[in-house]
Amino acid sequence: MGLGGGYFKTSHAADLSLVDTHLRKTALAILVIVLLTLPRFASGFVLDLASQAALAAVGALALNVLTGLAGQISLGHAGFLAAGAFTTAALVERGVVSPPVTLAATAIVGGVLGLAVGIPSLRLRGLYLALGTLAMHHVVLYVAGEMQARAGGNTGFTIPPPRLAGFVLKGTVAWYYALVAAAAVVLLLSVNLQRSRAGRAFMAIRDRDLAAASVGIDVARYKLAAFVWSSVITALAGTLFAWQRGFVSVEAFGFFVAVEYIAMIIIGGMGTALGAVLGAAFVTLLPYGIDAAVATLSPGAAEYYVFPAKFGAFGLLMALFLIFEPLGLVGIWRRVRNWFFLWPFRHRPLRASS
Amino acid sequence: MRRPVLIAALGVLTLAGALPAPAQAPEPYRIGMTAAITGRFSAGYAPTYEAYRAYFKRVNDAGGINGHPIEITYEDDRGEPQRAAAAAKKFTEGPFILMINASISPTYKPVMTEAETVKVPLLFGGGVCPREAFPPAHPLIFCSTSYGSKWDSRMALNFIKSQSAGRKVKVGFAAQDIPLSRIELEFAEQLAKELGMDAIPVVVVPGAASDFTPFAQNLKDAGADWVFSWAPWGVEIGVFEALHRIGWKGNYILYGHQQAQDELTRLKTPNLHALTGNAMFTENLPIHAEITSLVKGQTNHPPHYMAEGWTSAMVLDAGLRKCGWPCSREKLAQALAAVNVDTKGLRGGPIEMTAENHYRRETYYKIYRWDTDKSAIVSVGGWQKLDIK
Amino acid sequence: MVQTLATTLVVASLYALLGAGYVLVYRASRVLNLAQGDLLTLGGYFLFAAAAAFPGAPAVSLPLAAALSALTGVLVYLVLMRPMAGHPVFAAVLVTVTLGILLRAAIVFVFTDRTRHPLQNLALTNPPRPLPGGAVVSTFDLVMIATATLLFVALFLFLRLSPLGIQMRAAGERSLLASQRGINFHGVFALAWALAAFAGGLAGIVYSSNVRLEPSLDVLGLRAFAVALVGGLDSLAGVIPAAILVAAIEVLSIRYGNPLLSDVSPFLCLLVMLLIRPWGLFGTKEELERV
């Protein structure tokens, strides 16, 4: 893990711990304090942005497990989100608003959909799998669209905020805490998954699934497990999305959303949980950054030019990362960190053990 | 020696007092607009954005309303309900006294919910009017758009009946696969039967169809003499062009959105009728010339796309004038519920709203088609009026 | 009945032109070019710009637009696809997605979202033409069918008979051996991309003259990759029956089935094909293992 010397693990617990060095512990403590106290000194707009980034991080972490760890290319991520959101809407239509029931139902629907999408993955890989997931995405959206149209002329579903034991979850600050907590939980689960047996099986399948099968890993079971895990988490994120926005309509889940999530894990760095979180934050904040840049550079610019500029900048950045920095932001971070570790040396000595 | 100094000092002070104090910029009226300025649906709604910009620039340059400028914050929602919801949230949390929605119908629900929660009046300025603007009207929802559900169908079917000279005609209906269009045309289908015409079941067309010909074939094979379409422009004109391509000789009537004038000129087919609430710029009324000269260089769309937005801006103008200063959300809602706007010929008559009716008391329609002899767009009959009850 | 057949052929021609683009790119770069729909749109906008620059001169505008499309293909290969040579296939596919985004942003930036009709500036019209059997199609419907037919004939002749075409097939099959044999495979792949963009551009030119031109036409590309997959991603010959099949299902579902299903029918075809025969009707089976 590139600890730079001076740290020795003297107990099993220390070996297992996620945060080991003093620097990491301090940084984590500072991050937690900042996150907890952010509502005190940040505007509602910033909190909303942070909430969006946290929700995006949940989806990105789920996609990271599927595509980054297990190597199963999925272009249908928006379909899973839509499945979660529309399950919530369908339950609201039938008068069921209890959060535990909704979450459980969404998890089941997500899991079933994940299985359905995952089964082709047993026969297909690479490009063909990507196409299959893309086709699935369109089918899911079609079903959601029909559901929306049939619900008596509604142009979408209004979702009341979730109510649990008299406590209603609404308002920017409450949702900020809820979503950041959700992101933290999913992050913890993802990091743990990576270190576990299943995680290692995923990575083996990603690298060369024939070799993995020959070592005794049940490739079919783990592939399906990856799909199911990813789809369940994403469907739950869809429910959170529906609750927070208070409104669900099929237009919010187009193919571009799936592209955004893939961009998040690519720009962040595929295969690492940190990458997923960084990528999610980056992609969420990018349009606002461009807004700010355009506002300072050419204040009176008509909207006509701002929108394609944002769209184009997103595409350009994604292309640049794909071509020049495939390891993403995490790759950049690691290079920066290694520079600090190795200074004043420029390269690692050949005989280094770490 | 002291008194002259005293008098001089008093004189200087008086003069100093007579000098105008450094000008304080007057507080503006703050309005928020969420519109589909870019994106797939922008063709129908971006002109509203442009018309508002041009209209209120002129108003502000002339000193504003009641001595105060109008400051409109524009948010591009690209036709996505999420963005419209975020824009609405931003407007309701800020010092805005009115929200305007010029976007597609899926954006209505979240914006209306936001408006109702915080009690901000909401004006629909480019999209189809929601049910809440018609009597009995919701106190906060207003609509200036020229087209409205059910009334357009009534007018269209009455026109078809009047043109059929006593024969029994078969009417087909072309809808897009969005709820509003489907529901409207199913209503029209029912209405056609009540009026004694033969109605073919509604043909529903997906908005992104690669070829409209099979749908046109369905209509032609069913033997439609007339086809009525009420949907976003793409489907309306796509079905007509497909029908034309396969040699159908019947008559077609659609709702004339902004593109109607250009397309009637381009297609030059006499059997295409455009039903519209806005006078086409081919009539060259003084207001048309005024708009054309004013928007020169300011807009991406041609001047004749501005009618809808300009009329809406006029309604807002009248409401603000009536509200006076200071104008709060409640005062503005009350003011708008009592406006009587002279549209100067853009519409067939004034836009008059009441506490119960936030659409208008009377709505006017004109039907245009291309006349091959005159090589120009002509109107079939004059303005026709419907009372909104 | 004849009318339905005629409509099917027109839609199939459009899908075939796009499908040819997918197959050509796949054989060269082993990548699915998800920006093919945007290349169609770009071709249409090239025509619009050329027609606006040279009004009333279709003999200049049409070839110019087609040439610009082909040139775009070459640029795309040199700037985007060549640097992705060693990267995993997934990354290369994503680069094509970003290409689509960039093309779309550029189109909207220059031309805005308005719907355009290039035919107006070309001083051409699109009159209906009756066919034997009672069907009526428009002139440009026939042009679409003719274009697709001519393009496929030309491609077959080129790939089978001309030296450069044979080199392209060789480079597509085993690029390492081909380069050792002295084939300039970068040039050949650039040519493949040029041909794919040319095919997409032609489709865009004819479609925008026939129907309309707007930035959201890339959805046609999404439907057409079902055609490429059903036929076999590396089989140019497979595109024709696949295009006819997918178009027939779409048109028949509008005429005799549930019209709303027509929107999603290409994807259902795709899914069914992936489940029962992933390598398509005429594709090579080893392709599946290669990825």
**pLDDT tens across B13-67, in order?**
555 444 555 556 788 999 999 999 887 788 889 899 999 999 999 999 999 898 9
Host H or E run for residue B365: strand B362-371
A139 contacts C264? CB cut-off 8 A: yes
Chain A neighbors of C291, CB-CB under 8 A: 125-128
Same domain, B249 and B374: yes
> Is B74 in the A-facing interface, judged by CB distances under 8 Å?
yes
Q: Considering only A123-137, B24-38, B181-195, C275-289, which range has the smallest mean pLDDT? A: C275-289
| Alpha-carbon separation of residue B71 from B57, B241, B300 (angstroms) | 10, 43, 21
pLDDT at position C241 over 90: yes
The domain in which residue C208 lies consists of 2-290
pLDDT at position B321 over 70: yes
For C81-100, write each residue's pLDDT tens digit: 998 887 877 788 889 999 99
Which pLDDT value is given to residue C291? 44
The domain in which residue B309 lies consists of 29-146+284-358
Q: How far apart are the first and last CA of chain C?
A: 43
> Is B81 in the A-facing interface, judged by CB distances under 8 Å?
yes
A130, A312, A314 ranked by CB distance to C106: nearest: A312
B203 contacts C251? CB cut-off 8 A: no
Q: What is the ipTM of this complex?
A: 0.86
Using a 10 angstrom Cβ sphere, with 0-12 exposed, 13-18 middle and 19 or more buried, the burial of residue A76 is buried
Confidence of residue A301 (pLDDT cuts 50, 70, 90): low
* CA distance, residue C137 to nearest chain A CA (Å): 30
Same domain, B202 and B262: yes
Residue A260 falls inside a structural domain: yes
C113, C120, C259 ranked by CB distance to B39: nearest: C113
Q: Considering only A153-162, B92-101, B182-191, C54-63, which range has the smallest mean pLDDT? A: A153-162
Q: If contacts are CB pairs under 8 Å, which of residues 284-323 in chain A contact chain C?
A: 304-305, 307-309, 311-312, 314-316, 318-319, 322-323
> Is B88 in the C-facing interface, judged by CB distances under 8 Å?
no
Same domain, B130 and B264: no
C3, C212, C251 ranked by CB distance to B246: nearest: C3
For C176-187, write each residue's pLDDT tens digit: 888 888 888 889
pLDDT at position A43 over 90: no
Residue B16 falls inside a structural domain: no
- Give me the CATH number covering residue B376: 3.40.50.2300
Number of alpha carbons in the 13 Å side-chain half-sphere of residue C206 = 24
What's the whole-number mean pLDDT along residues C159-164? 90
Residue B193 falls inside a structural domain: yes
Which pLDDT value is given to residue C102? 93
Please state, in angstroms and rounded to a whole number, the distance separating the CA atoms of residues A253 and A136: 13
Same domain, B63 and B171: no
Residue B74 falls inside a structural domain: yes
- Give me the CATH number covering residue C51: 1.10.3470
- Give me the CATH number covering residue A285: 1.10.3470
Omega cis (within 30) before C241 = no
Which pLDDT value is given to residue C176? 82
For B182-238, write each residue's pLDDT tens digit: 889 999 999 999 999 999 999 999 887 888 999 999 999 999 999 999 998 989 999
Count of structural domains, chain C: 1
More confident residue, B21 or A180: A180
More confident residue, B82 or C191: C191
C203 touches C69 (CB < 8 A): no
Please state, in angstroms and rounded to a whole number, the distance separating the CA atoms of residues A280 and A182: 14
Please state, in angstroms and rounded to a whole number, the distance separating the CA atoms of residues B313 and A213: 69
C263 contacts B210? CB cut-off 8 A: no
Chain B neighbors of C212, CB-CB under 8 A: 234, 238
Residue A36 falls inside a structural domain: no
> Is A130 in the C-facing interface, judged by CB distances under 8 Å?
yes
Name the residue among C29, C116, C115, C14 with its Cα closest to residue C73: C29
Name the residue among C184, C25, C171, C15 with its Cα closest to residue C95: C25
Which pLDDT value is given to residue C172? 82
C62 touches A272 (CB < 8 A): no
Closest residue in A to B113 (Cα) is A158
Same domain, B76 and B137: yes
Same domain, B193 and B238: yes
Residue B12 falls inside a structural domain: no
Please state, in angstroms and rounded to a whole number, the distance separating the CA atoms of residues B237 and B235: 6
Residue A119 falls inside a structural domain: yes
Q: Which two tokens stand for residue A170?
A: 């609404």
Which pLDDT value is given to residue B301? 86
pLDDT at position B299 over 60: yes
What's the whole-number mean pLDDT along residues A235-244? 93
Count of structural domains, chain A: 1
Give chain C's contact residues with A (Cβ, < 8 Å): 30-32, 80, 83-84, 87, 89-91, 93-95, 97-102, 104-106, 108-109, 112, 222, 225-226, 229, 233, 260, 263-264, 267-268, 270-271, 274-275, 278, 288, 291
Sign of the torsion formed by the C-alpha atoms of C255, A144, B43 and B255:
positive
Which pLDDT value is given to residue B34? 94
What percent of chain A has a predicted confidence (pLDDT) above 90? 38
DSSP C116: B
Same domain, B323 and B202: no
Mutate to test the interface with B, among A170, A251, A256, A260 (most CBs of B within 10 A): A251
Q: What is the mean pLDDT of chain B?
A: 88
Same domain, B41 and B81: yes
Residue A4 falls inside a structural domain: no
State the pTM of this model: 0.87
Confidence of residue A158 (pLDDT cuts 50, 70, 90): confident
Which pLDDT value is given to residue B102? 94
What's the whole-number mean pLDDT along residues C189-215? 94
pLDDT at position A352 over 60: no
More confident residue, C228 or A48: C228
The domain in which residue A320 lies consists of 41-342
* CA distance, residue A210 to nearest chain C CA (Å): 11
Omega cis (within 30) before B326 = yes
Mutate to test the interface with C, among B104, B181, B246 (most CBs of C within 10 A): B246
Same domain, B306 and B335: yes
Same domain, B140 and B159: no
pLDDT at position B156 over 60: yes
